[in-house]
A and B are shown apart, each in its own frame.
Chain A
Amino acid sequence: MMNHSQAAEEFTHDVDRTTWHDKTLWFVREKRDKAVFQIPEWEALREAASRIKHNALSNLDEYLLEFEQNAINNGVKVHWAADGREHNEIVLQILRETGATQMVKSKSMLTEECHLNEFLIEQGVDVVDTDLGERVVQLAKEPPSHIVMPCIHKKKEEIGELFHEHLGTEKGASDPKYLAEAARQHLREKFLTRRAALTGVNFAVAETGGFVVCTNEGNADMGAHLADVHIASMGIEKIIPKAQHLGVFLRLLARSATGQPVTTYSSHFHRPRACQAMHIIIVDNGRTTQLGRPDFRNSLKCIRCGACMNTCPVYRRSGGHSYHNAVAGPIGSILAPNLDMRKNADLPFASTLCGSCSNVCPVKIDIHDQLYKWRQVLAAEGYVDSSKKQGMKVMASVFANPKLFRFSGKAGRTMMRLVPFSVSNPLNPWYKQREMPEPPKESFREWYMKRSSKEQ
């Protein structure tokens, strides 16, 4: 498997696409800013959301029990899954009991994390993703590259080509309106014929036992309200204590995600329809472990808005797939090492630590601090490249020795002036896609010494 920097290098080979990807996501960040600036109490709202989530995590067992009891009283079946495999088997079991061999699914990052689609397809179940972006990546046999905009890495011409092949649209057609209409027709037929639907959960309310699903397309509702069985999959961290807290989170979510005042549909499910079965699967899959890590438990506050990705200079220029994890970007990079340190040791290094992610996070997760802390943990646990470690050691000894530091600086400046090829060559990673700067004639220290001697 390629690590982040290798995958990013591949992505950036196409300069035009990289620039386009960068600009498109920055455009979403700008829309977010516009929406946020209309709320004078934005910072207080973030603070409230953050503290509600802290409370929820610190009393999670009680809230989960309260939620479960209320959901059962509402006529919903509640299941618990320790990991992805158990979650997938529960889904399969429910489908078998229903006699359903086909299912429609709306967006759920949890099911991506559990690799539900692959599992069900192996078991002979036909799963159709119904969010437009998710359907696109499903047809392309790719994972989503963004949690809110799953196919943001694709150009409309590529989507046109996919739809031509799979949905029979005209060859060469790439008008987004035309393609979205084709997807509407194609997926309507699925909604009308599937007996089982799976949705994610944005918020689960302990106080009422209900859950809220937010979409713009209406696909979660089209699936759930037409199917005989509705399965809702949620991580344990989706719990919020009270219904009135939805006011805080719904004001933050869409503004942070896409710059909309609220999503088109905020659907509140409490009881199944007559003759319908409703199931909730509560999934751990590593979350309780993360809860036990004081430095990293705050990552469980995440409401999956994607704002940290849209603002991240590394994500925007490397694409979501370079993170090789269901959730990409800064938040993905602090969630992933918890699931598998060895596999995801590269991700906390895929950041400049600029802190933009923490600034836009609607629930005030200290994302860039956690990225930094993960680096320490991963190095201590031996998951960091020895070459990186060696380089850091050399640098540390240079910085710790003033004479050596001055000598190295001078040597570097002289070399760059006299033998520019010594640094401007492909072996130097800093030279890749960059011009090296003009070496200064003197160091700050030399300049300062001269200046102070003149003054005396």
Chain B
Amino acid sequence: MNSRERILAAVRQNKPELQPLPETTTFVSDFPDLVAKFCEILRFIGGTPVVVANYQEAEQYIRQTYGDLSNIVSKVPVLESLATTQWDVEDPHQLEAVDLAIIQGVFGVAENSAIWVPEERGGHRVLPFICQHLVLILNASDLVPNMHDAYQRLNVGEAGFGVFIAGPSKTADIEQALVIGAHGARSLSVVLLQNT
């Protein structure tokens, strides 16, 4: 017998009697205002929420806030003019030089301000992690209350890779002191579009 068979045989022999799955595995969160909740939580975890009317205002905000950065990648077709280069790189290692990445999220979760970003939205899987700063664009209408709603909306195996991003990267490993900017992006702005 190889290890696979040995492990499976041991599991069969030692497992308890079949226990049914619980009937209730989803719960309802009742937030009066999803955008307000999302913004409150995002601020709490170190991100910056920005509510704007449309892409034009989003572009203005990004120009004003990140105008001093030189290597900007935009994966949002409407905001392509913000990109300083095409950055159509083969090798993801080259993305190390990216100062700012602008990516469109699919939907956000109000209870924890996580945003679903599947790989096709960033081109390379590593882009939202390797960039120094990250801007995620999201339609304000694409917010769901909680994680149960999120997985109902999501076909999670569809993307080869997908990630919920909630806030900028952080660590509290040194004496529980919070430091924003561990290995991933040093800052995260989420631009919520109201009229789309």
B125 A188 Cβ-Cβ under 8 A: no
**Within the complex, what minimum Cβ distance (angstroms) separates A330 from chain B?**
20
Considering the complex, give the chain A residue whose CB is closest to the CB of B21.
A55
Q: Determine whether A392 belongs to the interface, using a CB cutoff of 8 Å to chain B.
A: no
The answer on a CB contact under 8 Å between A184 and B183 is yes
Segment from A46-54, A93-101, A408-416 that makes contact with B: A46-54
Quick check: is A369 within 8 A (CB to CB) of the other chain?
A: no
Which B residues touch A136, using CB under 8 A?
A: 173-174
Q: Once the chains bind, are A210 and B114 in contact (CB under 8 Å)? A: no
| A:252-272 near B, CB below 8 Å | 258, 260-272
Cβ–Cβ contact A251 & B16, under 8 A: no
Contacting pair A176 B6 (CB below 8 A): no
Shortest beta-carbon distance from A64 to chain B in Å:
7
For the complex formed, measure the closest distance between the CB of B196 and the CB atoms of chain A, giving whole angstroms.
25
A335 to B: closest C-beta gap in Å: 16
How far does the Cβ of A215 sit from chain B's closest Cβ, in whole Å? Answer: 8
- The stretch from A236-244, A349-357, A397-405 touching chain B is A236-244
Check A378 for interface membership: any CB of B closer than 8 A: no
Q: Are A244 and B26 in contact (CB under 8 A)?
A: yes
Q: Are the C-beta atoms of A132 and B96 separated by less than 8 Å?
A: no
Contacts of A24 in B (CB 8 A): 175-176
What's the least CB distance linking B64 to chain A, in Å? Answer: 26
Could you tell me the distance in whole angstroms from the C-beta of A183 to the nearest C-beta in chain B? 8
A111 at the interface (CB under 8 A from B): no
Chain B residues closer than 8 Å to A60, beta-carbon distance: 11, 15
How distant is the Cα of A292 from the Cα of B14 in the complex, in angstroms? 4
Q: How far is A297 from B162 in the complex, measured between Cα atoms in Å?
A: 33
Q: Is the CB of A251 within 8 A of B173?
A: no
Interface of A is mostly: helix
Q: Does A289 contact B14, Cβ atoms closer than 8 Å?
A: yes
Interface of B is mostly: loop
- The 0/1 profile, CB within 8 Å of B marked 1, for residues 207-224 of chain A is 011100000111101100
- B48-56, B74-82, B99-107, B148-156 - interface stretch: B148-156
Would you give the shortest CB distance from B167 to chain A, in whole angstroms?
A: 5
On whether the beta carbons of B10 and A266 are closer than 8 Å, the reply is no
Which residues 193-219 of A have a CB within 8 angstroms of B?
205, 208-210, 216-219
Which B residues are CB-close (under 8 A) to A267? 161-163
Closest partner residue, chain B, to A271 (CB atom): B160
B121 in the interface (beta carbon within 8 A): no
**Closest B residue by C-beta to A245:** B25
Q: Nearest Cβ distance between residue A224 and chain B, in whole angstroms?
A: 8
- B residues within 8 Å of A by Cβ? 2-4, 6-8, 10-22, 24-27, 41, 44-45, 92-93, 96, 109, 111-114, 124-126, 129-130, 146-148, 150-152, 154, 156-157, 159-177, 179, 181-185
24 A-B pairs in the complex with CB atoms less than 8 angstroms apart? A48-B24, A51-B21, A52-B22, A54-B16, A58-B18, A61-B11, A74-B160, A82-B7, A132-B173, A133-B173, A152-B173, A176-B175, A184-B181, A216-B182, A217-B182, A222-B130, A222-B183, A225-B126, A243-B157, A248-B148, A261-B45, A264-B170, A268-B162, A268-B164
